[in-house]
Amino acid sequence: MGITPNGRRAVDRGRDRPHAEDIFMQLSHRDSAIPSITWGELEGIFHALADTDAKRVMVRHLVEGTRKTAPFLPAEHTFREIVCIASALMDTDFHPAD
């Protein structure tokens, strides 16, 4: 199955922002840190957001992959991955294969 129309719009919006890292660095000093949570808590939140069994299965794998790559990525890239997972889970047109 290909990317959904909502997913395509999200990808296209990402391409429209080639300097996201620069923007992040400019804004990062303005606010205090967001509350920290564990990877297990994040997985639980995503599991609760998943509206199908296929998405619930997907959550475990995506969170695990993100957790494993996080030590090698800047924080903003890891956070972007987390936001992308949430977007996929909330996309009602997205139906991963069982």
> Looking at residue 80, what is its pLDDT?
94
Work out whether the CA dihedral 61, 67, 70, 75 comes out positive or negative.
positive
| pLDDT at residue 70, as a whole number | 96
Predicted TM-score (pTM) of the model is 0.66
pLDDT digits over 11-69, tens only?
A: 555 555 556 666 666 665 666 777 899 999 999 999 999 989 999 999 999 999 999 99
Long-range contacts of 64-67 (CB under 8 A, 24+ apart): 67/39
Q: What is the pLDDT of residues 77-88, one digit of tens each?
A: 999 999 999 999
pLDDT, residue 4, reads 60
**Residue 1 CB contacts under 8 Å (≥ 6 apart), including other chains:** 95, 96, 97
Q: Where are the alpha helices (DSSP H) in 28-92?
A: 39-49, 53-69, 75-90
* Residue-range domain boundaries for the chain: 52-98
Q: Is 30 helix (H, G, I), strand (E, B) or coil?
A: coil
Q: Which of 89, 11, 8 is nearest to 50 (CA)?
A: 89
Output the CA torsion sign for 6, 47, 65, 57.
negative
